[in-house]
Structure 1
Amino acid sequence: MRLINCLILLLVFIPDLFADHGVYFKSNEVNKENRTGIDITHNGNISYTNNFTIHFNLSFRESETHYGEILSLKEANNKNLIQVTYRMPDLFVIHNKRETKFHLDLNKEEIQNNRWIDFELRIDAINNKINLQFADKKLQSDIDFPQNSDFALSLGVINKYGFFIDEVPSISIKDLSIRIDGAPRHLWPFKKTDNFLVKDILSSKTAKVYNPDWVIDYHNKWEKIQSLNFSSLPSLLYDKKSEQIQFIFMDGTIQSFDPLTKTLSVINEKVDGFPCFEKAQQIIYNKNGNITTYSYNQNLISSYDSINNSWNNKKESTEDDTPKLWHHNKLLHPKTKNITTLCGYGYYSYFNDILSFNTETNNWDKLNFTGDTIKPRYLASLGQSGKNSNCYYIFGGLGNSMGKQILGKEFYYDLHKIDFKNQKITHLWDYKCDDQFQYLPINSMKVTANDSSFYTLMFSSSKQNTYLRAIKGFINEAGIAFIGDSIPYNFLDIDSFADLYYWNSENKLIAITSHKKEDLSHEVNIYTISYEPGNKDNFDINGVELPLSVKIFYSLLVICIILLGLFIVRKVRQDRRTTEIQTAYTSTEIFEAPISDYEAPKQNAIILFGGFQVFDNKGKDITYRFSPTLKELFLLILLNTINEGNGISSKRIQEYLWPDKSESNAKNNRGVNIKKLRGILEDLPGTEVVFDNNYWKIILPENIFCDLEYVRNAIKLIREQGNIENLAEIIIILQRGSMLQDIFPEWLDSFKDSNTGLIVSTLEEILKDDNIDKAISLAISNVIFQFDQMNETALKTKCHLLASQGKHSLAIETFEHYRKLYLKFYNEEYQFTFKDIVSKEN
């Protein structure tokens, strides 16, 4: 208990060392009497013997200020006066009102705005040297400076040196430290305070701040810089090079907004040609840097030629051009540089397709990825890796695993990594939230340079008049945290849009919102915030050795954390052992042991459950060879062959795959794709595509494993003969997931429904047999839930089995999940209680 109390006391004081901090100096944007200054030695000078060093972090920002005082230092005995002065774009060090050779051109040093840089001034009174470090630049010169003296020090506008100071540059300063004779004696982080005194955390001194702004406010408060109204819907685009926000309209005209000057200008009033315009923000910069719009419906892209003031599409879009995919994500493929889109919503369905526009065929090709599967969704947030330009991260969204809106909606708080070079998707984490937490992210995210975290905005979707708030998420661990204040957002689903851009030169984030108003006009609001929002700056004293008291502080802190960690681990282990003894799980192995060592073949195999996969005769995954059209054609023929044995006619194939084509064009497309399909199936020996009695069929020899065919045959034996010899194998196959859960054409629904019905009804009948092994029964209930998450038979079986083995918490958790889903889907409470479900009579 004493250990915990000590740790609590330490943690009370640690925020003083690790906190958002810094002073934002008001400059000529305000009257002279309101400008910022800090008197470091307001309550007494600082003494030294041989030398002293002043170090702080300095940040410049864009302004019209051309002159100002950064630092003023006056030594007491010989009355040496040192000034550090800014006169755009130069930095000067003045000694006794004369220029020294310390003169830096900030343009040549490539100092960017709104970035923290090191500033250090060192006086060596023994060797009569003055040293200056500014960012990576180090300078040295001679100076006549006495030993055994003291000095006064101030920043900005402080008048105590016998002359008037009324100018200060547009700067911010944090972490001012002073080392005396080599030892750290003073450190002012400049943490925000309610009064005008800021604490020195290494001594009892204070500094006095006049007219401060605080850096933390610029990382936690969004500034609305402009509100614009347009008579028609604009497509929004941010130009990273010019740092302008572009607005593109249906008639092809373009307007541009400059966030620095806050001005809107018209780029063109008359233009030749038209963009593709389908109201779903289908716009991007292509590989040549040209504004490019794209259409799913017309398999078309249209790029803007700024020299000739023209679009290369001559057909005007109309208000009736309904987008196929609302709120999808977009990027330029890192390797091919083709326009690539992810996910989206349309026609009462959610999608997880990754589509890339093939400029040679003028078609959208579906890209195939190995690894994990992104569940169908829209309203997700996408951002490029800071370390690897071939990788992107996608976070959150709204959808469901089956992709059908009628089956309800699920809020996702997961993170996936998409590697376009290796064509692999990796599920990184899933952040568990309460069902009442119904927040959605906006279209884009900003990933930090080291890929440690990301920033995006989220909003509550439960009401129309809502708010956007910044969140920080972590790449390598599940977690998100709201930071900063909020932005008003009028969420109207497909009639509203929000996005996030990184403003590099100002090191800020730009948030932009757009929504349709009652008068059918469109309002666009633009906000900025300093990057990184809500950032926690690390305690830093520039690598200098700390005094003994601070060393002891950190040593104790580390020891306490280690001891507390060991204490917690030991306690958890003791509690776990106690719980295991108390609950006496005599049959735990029933639920943990695998029901069979059977593994579905991955050689000469066609896998449909859990997702589409094909393995050749060498065990190689050749799924990537199936284009979206080839995959759909193959499945059409295969499923019609398996289900009825007859196959499918050419006319039906045309109706499903090429309904808008003439009969001759459809025949040509079919012939070309059948030839490609036969070429792929040569790697599955004996597998053939044949045309027999006016029907297309796929012949599967005995050496080819198809999981759907295997399951259907096994179920037939169960239903006709009661033969459950292969039941464990069926379960292991079905545990992969529902049938073709990554493919969603409408024609496939009937096959999914009929096979799902056959599987679920058969497994339900098996569960009625009291002689079935308990491990098998539990596995069956889990499989049924994968195919029918509202199945009551599976609920009763699973809860009863778990409860009978003493696993009451797991049983209750299963019931509560079901109850919440029931309320969500049917908008009414489930009629049975947990007690009803686990009772034998029910």
Structure 2
Amino acid sequence: MTNFKKVGCVLIISFFYCLAVFSQGLGFQSNDSPIGERTSYTVFGNNLPTFTNTLAISFDLYLANKKGLGYIFRLNDSHSAKTYSLKSFIKDNQPSELYFNIESEANKIKVNRHPDRSARGQWMHINLLFDMVADSAVLMIDSEVYKTGGLGLDKQIEPKIVFGKDGPHTEVPDMIIKNLKIGNKEKSYFFPLSQSNGTLVRDSLKKTAGQVDNPVWMLTKSYYWEKRFNYSLQKPGGCSFNPQLNCFLIFTNDSIIYYYPDKEQVDKQLAVVPIENSLILGENFYNTKTRETYSYELWNDSSVQKPNISAFDYNTRSWHPVGKAQCESALNHHALFQTEDGELYIYGGYGNYLYSNKIFHYNQSRDQWEAVTLRGNPLPHRYYSASNQTPINDKIYFFGGIGNTTGEQIIGGKQFYDCYEMDINTFTVKKLWENKEKTDFVPANNLIFSKDGTHFYTACYNHYNPQSAITLNYYDVSNGSRIQVGDSIPLYSDRIETNINLYYSSKSNQFFIVSHVFKDKDESNITIYSINNTPIPASLLTESEDYQETEVIRVTPIQITLIGLGALFIAGILFLVKKYKVKIIKKSHRTSPVAEKENTIKAESEEPSGKKKNCVLLFGTFDAFDEKGNNIAHLFSPQIRMVCIQILVASFSKEKGFSSYQLTSMLWPEEEAHKIKNRKGVLISALRKVMQMFKGIELEYANNLYSFKWEEPFYCDYIDFMSNKDNPDHDFLPIIERGNFLTSLHIPEFDQIKAETDSIILEKLENEIEQALVKEDFILLIRCASLILKVDPFNESALKWLLQGYMKTNHQKEAVTAYDSFCSNYLKNFGTAYTKRLNDILKQ
């Protein structure tokens, strides 16, 4: 095995560890979401086990600091007909409270969380032990213990356990759960909740054991970047991150905007004292010693003597001048680093047609930028470098950049992918390693180190390509080996002033990327993205499905037999009941649009989008089920999934297929054709093998085109949708009610087909709305308007139709919730409040 392969294996193994420790969990769509979109997790489905004498339920819980009341879980005992619940309650600016109740009867335990623990939301370990013999329970939250009795327990309990929304009990807190264990000495069940997709929940043996509606699998939050905030500046300004307050400061000369990502809160106002120095590029940093944001410009050619460095005081919300020092030139795209004692240094940069290799220290007492004398290996002349101090010693690291050995731009520059180490006490420089890359990229302004200092993260992008992408790379400090983690972020910029910054928040355990894209010297756009720690590579997103836990489910052979016979009997009864209910639902008329929306949709969507056998589903979360109904989505690796979808989509194109050249260009754009022939063959072979698990579909290759040929009983919702898109009588609503097309796949190659499909969906929905208005079918109006807002979240016409539907059916509460949700999303994405009032919209 080569050294490179060995290093790669070590990196992957370390990520499997991170995956097990940090990245698993099931998130819940909460009270901020419409009722029909809130998460509901039924642990055992319809196959309820029975426990005798004792029952223990334990799990890890993350509870966000958002006000409101919500069910963490409800436990209904079929023996005693009692229901027990664990609820959370958070008031304005108050610590969270937890309540253990006998539903509709009494509160048995009330827990007031410590203010420090609930201030920003923290993980806590919950352990609830029922003693049926003593008719008592013990609730343990981390090291805190609470006891209660008089619960009315029988010696046996058959628990139906539901986390989050449970039927009419719709209040759901903003929470994450993981490592769920349920059992006693006789038998136990373990649910890691470490999946990346699907609505069927697997236990530690990878057996389907429960069902979840509207899941938010947290593993995907460690791969897909989430766009959090966007703001346009009409004059020069910048964006700084304050790790102490866990907030971003966006500023111009006289205005300030606070954005708190953990609260989704925006605070915009004028600075009490505006900044005096002339803002050009908005260069800034957060001074960890003074706890202020410093704005600085290295060069100012104005004849008016103004401060070049100013500091923002977060307490007074005022700027005050720090100094007027200027450097030898502008030194654009220099690397900035700050030592633990707050001293500021810069390295490299570009100005006056020269690349710099100097390090300057800002001496605040003298108000001067002073060149530092270096020892050891010479630092190269370059700009676009990244730097930072490692957390374990006094070493500064520099990575990458563009430049040359002389510093003269006239002889041209090249891109470097090397790493240097510098002792901050002696300024001794040592070159560690240098890589060769097949694609061009430059790092963002800063490096983020792992806690042990052995690895660093940096955001990378192609600075000269107007349509580039930002990627997050994870480097081994010792040898320079790297892997890309997380998905890519599209970047559109054609000006050199554009800059990218990478930040890490220990408070929210997230990475943030801030892109500051300039349109001209004055106007620019700031966008903030986040990803959960620990970011993972694409391969682990799928491989997580195969991760094996060490705990096993202990069930006796007799119990297996009884459960099997019981399951067959229950399945038969459920099939008849379900079939009867669907008929009743289709015939009956409901007065509640919320009930209509949830129940009718479920009944009508059993066919076709609710298929659970021999099908591939592309709307909503990607899912695939074989002939027996087994969920096999995890068999589709990212590459297999991408190729499968592209061929399916291309089967409806004019060419009626996806060419071999297109496949090669999509997956291996930088490779020579003869080098990837074997890899392509292996991939196509793997795709054929997976597709053989379905009946009625074949992968064909003819005339240099790959295509699928299908027939019944194979089903694909995209095929159903596209085949009937011109049929006015075809009911397409159940298909798109499952979710947006390819909503879980954030891949640039799918952007065009997503846009084309969304356009068709919007046209059909608007036609349906016209019919609903004519017929005064307000339930249909609510359904269609809600779906439009999923595709086009800021469609004001759809908002108006949705509000009208709710008001016409006398559901004012739902109307207010929908309006508030729209306003919240509007503020989050545009940085300004939505100005139209609810009553004004209804009058239109």
Offset at residue 153 of structure 1 (A): 1.5
Asked if 1:93 is matched to 2:97, the reply is no
Check if 1:302 corresponds to 2:275.
Answer: no
Structure 2 equivalent of residue 833 of structure 1 = none
C-alpha spacing 1:400/1:184, structure 2 compared with 1 (3 Å): farther
Equivalent residue, structure 2, for 1:221: 224
- Measured in 2, the distance between the counterparts of 1:384 and 1:546 equals 44
Q: Map residues 456-495 of structure 1 onto 2, 5 A cutoff.
A: 456-492=458-494, 494-495=496-497
- Structure 1 position 25, deviation (Å): 1.0
Q: Which residue of 1 is the match for residue 115 of structure 2?
A: 108
1:246-299 deviations in whole A, cap 9, x for unaligned?
A: 3444x566555555445362333874x722645372555374334434454579
Partner amino acid for 1:339? L
Task: State whether structure 2 residue 357 is matched by structure 1 residue 352.
Answer: yes
For 1:360-439, list aligned pairs within 5 A: 360-368=365-373, 373-387=378-392, 390-421=394-425, 423-425=427-429, 427-430=431-434, 432-434=435-437, 436-439=438-441
Deviates more, 1:438-447 or 1:501-510: 501-510
CA–CA separation in structure 2 for the residues paired with 1:419 and 1:322: 24
Hey, what's the Cα distance between the residues in 1 that align with 2:265 and 2:103?
42
Q: Deviation of residue 157 (structure 1)?
A: 1.2
Q: Are 2:228 and 1:235 equivalent residues in the alignment? A: no
Distance in structure 2 (CA, Å) of the matches to 1:216 and 1:496: 31
Q: Mind listing any 5+ residue stretches in structure 1 that lack a counterpart?
A: 1-6, 550-842
Q: Distance in 1 between matches of 2:325 and 2:378?
A: 37
| In the alignment, structure 1 residue 510 sits paired with structure 2 residue 512 | yes
Partners of 1:173 and 1:274 in 2: CA distance: 49
Secondary structure at 2:222 match in 1 = helix
CA gap of 1:373–1:338, structure 2 versus 1, over 3 A, is: same
- For 1:502 and 1:468, locate their aligned partners in 2 and report how far apart those are by CA, in whole Å: 16
| Equivalent residues of 2:74, 2:162 under 8 A apart | yes
Deviation, structure 1 residue 456: 2.9
CA distance in 1, matches of 2:242, 2:18: 40
Indicate the residue corresponding to 1:268 in structure 2.
271
Of 43, 54, 59 in structure 1, the residue corresponding to residue 57 of structure 2 is 54
- Whole-angstrom CA distance in 2 between matches of 1:102 and 1:470: 46
Give the drift of 1:402.
Answer: 4.0
CA distance, structure 2, for counterparts of residue 410 and residue 257 of structure 1 = 38
- Which string of whole-angstrom CA distances, capped at 9 and with x for unpartnered residues, describes residues 685-737 of structure 1? xxxxxxxxxxxxxxxxxxxxxxxxxxxxxxxxxxxxxxxxxxxxxxxxxxxxx
State the AA in 2 paired with 1:153: I
Contact preservation (8 Å) 1:279, 1:322: no
Q: Secondary structure at the match of 2:74?
A: strand
In 2, distance between residues paired with 1:427 and 1:456?
18
Equivalent position SS for 2:60: strand
Q: Does 1:44 align with 2:47?
A: yes
Distance in 2, matches of 1:234 and 1:297, equals 16
Q: Kindly indicate whether the alpha-carbon contact (under 8 Å) linking 2:188 and 2:554 is maintained by their aligned counterparts in 1.
A: no
Q: Is the contact made by 2:361 and 2:371 (CA closer than 8 Å) also made in structure 1?
A: yes
Match of 1:171 among 167, 170, 175: 175
Instruction: Supply the AA of the counterpart residue of 2:161.
Output: L
Deviations 1:101-137 (CA, angstroms, capped at 9, x unpaired) = 6432234361464654322222344566533332443
What SS does the corresponding residue of 2:36 show, helix, strand or coil? Answer: helix
Deviation at 1:458, TM superposition (A): 1.2
User: Which moves more between the two structures, 208-217 or 218-227?
Assistant: 218-227
**Pick from 301, 312, 321: which aligns with 1:312?**
321
Which residue among 147, 151, 156 is the counterpart of 2:164? 156
Give the Cα separation in 1 of the matches to 2:202 and 2:164. Answer: 18
Matched-pair contact (CA < 8 Å) for 2:377–2:429: yes
For 1:678, the equivalent position in structure 2 comes to none
Q: Secondary structure at the match of 2:221?
A: helix
Preserved contact between residue 459 and residue 469 of structure 1 (Cα < 8 Å):
yes
Q: Distance in 2 between matches of 1:104 and 1:146?
A: 26
Contact 2:58 2:180 in 1 (8 A): yes
Is the 8 Å Cα contact of residues 510 and 528 (structure 1) preserved in structure 2? yes
Contact 2:419 2:432 in 1 (8 A): yes
Pair 377,413 (structure 1): closer, same or farther in 2 beyond 3 Å: same
Cα deviation 1:548-569 (Å, max 9, x = unaligned):
99xxxxxxxxxxxxxxxxxxxx
Q: 1:520 to 1:109 in 2, by over 3 A?
A: closer
Q: Is 2:329 aligned against 1:327?
A: no
CA pair 391-547 structure 1, distance change in 2 beyond 3 A: farther
Name the SS of the counterpart of 1:216 in structure 2: helix
CA contact (8 A) 2:271 2:319 kept: no
* Alpha carbons of structure 1 residues 69 and 475: separation in structure 2 relative to 1, 3 Å: farther
2:204 and 2:549 in contact (8 A); partners too: no
Aligned residue number for residue 682 of structure 1: none
Offset, 1:229: 2.6
2-structure distance, mates of 1:369, 1:146: 77
> 2-side partners of 1:84 and 1:474: how far apart?
44
Q: Give the 5 Å matches for 1:64-213.
A: 64=67, 66-88=68-90, 89-95=96-102, 97=104, 102-108=109-115, 110-111=117-118, 113=120, 115-125=122-132, 130-142=137-149, 145-159=153-167, 164-181=168-185, 184-194=188-198, 196-202=199-205, 204-213=207-216
Partner of 2:629: none
CA change 1:383–1:47 in 2 (3 A) is: farther
In the alignment, which residue of structure 2 is the partner of 1:807? none
Residue 738 of structure 1 corresponds to which residue in structure 2? none
Q: Do the aligned residues in 1 keep the contact of 2:259 with 2:267 (CA within 8 Å)?
A: yes
Q: Which residue of 1 is the match for residue 287 of structure 2?
A: 285
- Stretch deviating more after TM superposition (274-283 or 165-174): 274-283
Which residue of structure 2 aligns with residue 529 of structure 1?
531
Residue 479 to residue 239, structure 1, CA distance change in 2 (3 Å): same
Q: Distance in 1 between matches of 2:413 and 2:114?
A: 53
Paired residues of 1:460 and 1:467 also in contact (CA < 8 A): yes
1:372 Cα offset (Å): 5.2
Judging changes above 3 Å, is the alpha-carbon distance between structure 1 residues 418 and 106 closer, same or farther for their aligned structure 2 residues? farther
SS in structure 1 opposite 2:356?
Answer: strand
Counterpart-to-counterpart distance in 1, 2:144 and 2:433:
43
Q: 1:222 to 1:322 in 2, by over 3 A?
A: farther
- Residues of 1 paired with 2:175 and 2:449: CA distance? 26
Aligned positions of 1:441-456 closer than 5 A: 441-456=443-458
SS of 1:220 mapped into structure 2: coil
What are the residue-to-residue correspondences of 1:4-23 with 2, within 5 Å?
Answer: 21-23=24-26
SS in 2 for 1:217: helix
Q: Supply the AA of the counterpart residue of 1:379.
A: Y
Q: Secondary structure at 2:358's aligned position in 1?
A: strand
How does the TM-score come out when normalised to structure 2?
A: 0.54
Residue 824 of structure 1 is matched in structure 2 by none
Structure 2 unaligned regions, length at least 5 = 1-8, 91-95, 556-844
Q: Which secondary structure state, in structure 2, belongs to the residue aligned with residue 340 of structure 1? A: strand
Is residue 25 of structure 1 aligned with residue 28 of structure 2? yes
TM-score (norm 1): 0.54
Query: Does structure 2 retain, via aligned residues, the 8 Å contact 1:330–1:340?
Result: yes
- Give the root-mean-square deviation of aligned CA atoms: 4.2
Amino acid aligned to 1:186: F
Aligned length: 523
State the identity as a percent: 19
